Structure formats: C-alpha cells, structure tokens
Amino acid sequence: MRDVIRMIVVLGVLAAVSGWLLWAVKMGTASQIEYQQLKFVKGPAIKKILEGSSNDPLVDRFKIQDGEVERNFYVGVFDGKANAVAYETFGKGFGGDIGIMVGVNLETDELLGIGVTTHSETPGLGSRAKDDPSFGAQFKGMSIQEPFKVKADGGKVDALSGATVTSWGVCAGVTDSAKFYKTLKPQLIEQAQAFAK
C-alpha cells in the first residue's frame, strides 16, 4: 500500500511541476510566437496585398471583438489616408481550413487582393491557390458586396483546374468574410483613422 501511495505522489508531483513549468514557458513566449507567426506566415500575404502602402501593416494593426471571436485587422495607408484593411478569414478546403488574407479598400469596398496564408491542400493541385499568383490576382478589383462564385456556378472566378473544392473554399471564405466586414465597417473606418499619417 505504501508503495502505491508513493508512486501516486511522485507521479502526481512530477506532472504538476511539469504542468506549471510549461504554463510559465508558454506565457513567456506567447507574444514572441505571435509576432513570429505574423512575420513568417501572414506577413508575406499582408505585404503583397497592401503593396505600396506607406506604412508597415504588420505594426499598424488593431483588434476588434466580434461576438465571441477576436479579429485582427492590418491597416494600409495610401496617399496619407488609412483607407485599406487586411484581415484573415477561413474557408473549408479539401484538406481542412484554408486561411485567406483579404485586403479591402474601405472607401470603395473593392478587394485589393487575396492571399492564402495557411492550408493543407494537395501539393501541386490545391496548393496552387497559394503558389500560383494568377489565382489570387483575379479577385483584385471585385466588390466585396457581391458573393464570390466560380465560373461553373455562375460567378466570375476562374477555378483552379483539378482543385475545384479548394476554389470553392477560397470563394466561400471570402464571401463569409463580407458578413463581418459589413457589420464591423463603421468601427473599421474609425479605428483605421488612428494610423493615418
């Protein structure tokens, strides 16, 4: 009996100490990890979408609480006016969620561009949503107000051949994001002004 108690105590104490240590390390590195992900995963997509902005969108960012989710917005300053934001949205792809960075002009509601950030699509097929610049480029100039569909469904987007589900996922993700874009738009304009120079 004493052996059993000893085992339980030793294992329990070890697990507790390890749990506490991991909590401490996790807390200590959280902000640094967030910054690294921003720089290496979302950064390239944001920079490309807000190309030509006079500020650094990775620094000029803000958060808005939308119901239960917290959304990040990255501000692009063009001609001294903070009139563009980029944000991340998700669509259901072939191999899981596809993360899509969407850039919108706040004055005209036109898309500045989209870029895939994270995905687990088939290499060589669905992965072209990220790697083939011409796929993302066709979204440029379209209005966020109208639903995004592939041409086969009566829309304007040329689907990636061999990757229909991926193309659907990207379109659905962008279309979905229009909903929270519309409700948050007044706040977006107000918050973005703070970054105008």
Partner 1 sequence: MAKTVVQEFTKGLWDEIPPFRLVLGLCPTLAVTKTVANGVGMGVAATFVLVCSNILVSALRNVIPSQVRVPCFIIIIATFVVVVELVMQAFTYPLFLQLGIFIPLIVVNCIILGRAEAFASKNGVVPSTADGLGIGVGFTLALAVLAAIREVFGAGTLSVPFSDTVIHVFGPSFQPFTFMVEAPGAFVCLGLVLALMNLAGK
Q: Which DSSP string corresponds to 59-72?
A: TSEEEEEETTEEEE
What's the min distance (Å) between Cβ of 33 and partner 1?
5
Q: Which of 124, 131, 126 is nearest to 160 (CA)?
A: 126
What's the min distance (Å) between Cβ of 29 and partner 1?
4
What's the min distance (Å) between Cβ of 135 and partner 1?
23
Q: Residue 158, Cβ neighbours under 10 Å: how many?
A: 13
**Radius of gyration of the chain from its Cα atoms, rounded to whole angstroms:** 21
DSSP 163: -
Q: What is the binding site for partner 1 (CB under 8 A)? A: 3, 6-7, 10-11, 14-15, 18, 21-22, 25-26, 29, 32-33, 36-37, 39-40
Which amino acid, 38? L
Q: Tell me the C-alpha distance between 171 and 159, whole Å.
A: 10
What's the min distance (Å) between Cβ of 58 and partner 1?
14
Of residues 35 and 156, the one with the C-beta less far from partner 1: 35
* CB neighbour list of residue 126: distance below 8 Å, 6 or more residues apart: 93, 94, 95, 119, 160, 163, 165, 166
Of residues 33 and 137, the one with the C-beta less far from partner 1: 33
Check residue 109 and give left, alpha or beta (phi > 0: left; psi -120 to 50: alpha). left
DSSP 64: E
Of residues 12 and 133, the one with the C-beta less far from partner 1: 12
What's the min distance (Å) between Cβ of 60 and partner 1?
22
What's the min distance (Å) between Cβ of 165 and partner 1?
25
Of residues 120 and 145, the one with the C-beta less far from partner 1: 120
Of residues 18 and 143, the one with the C-beta less far from partner 1: 18
Of residues 29 and 65, the one with the C-beta less far from partner 1: 29
Which amino acid, 133? P
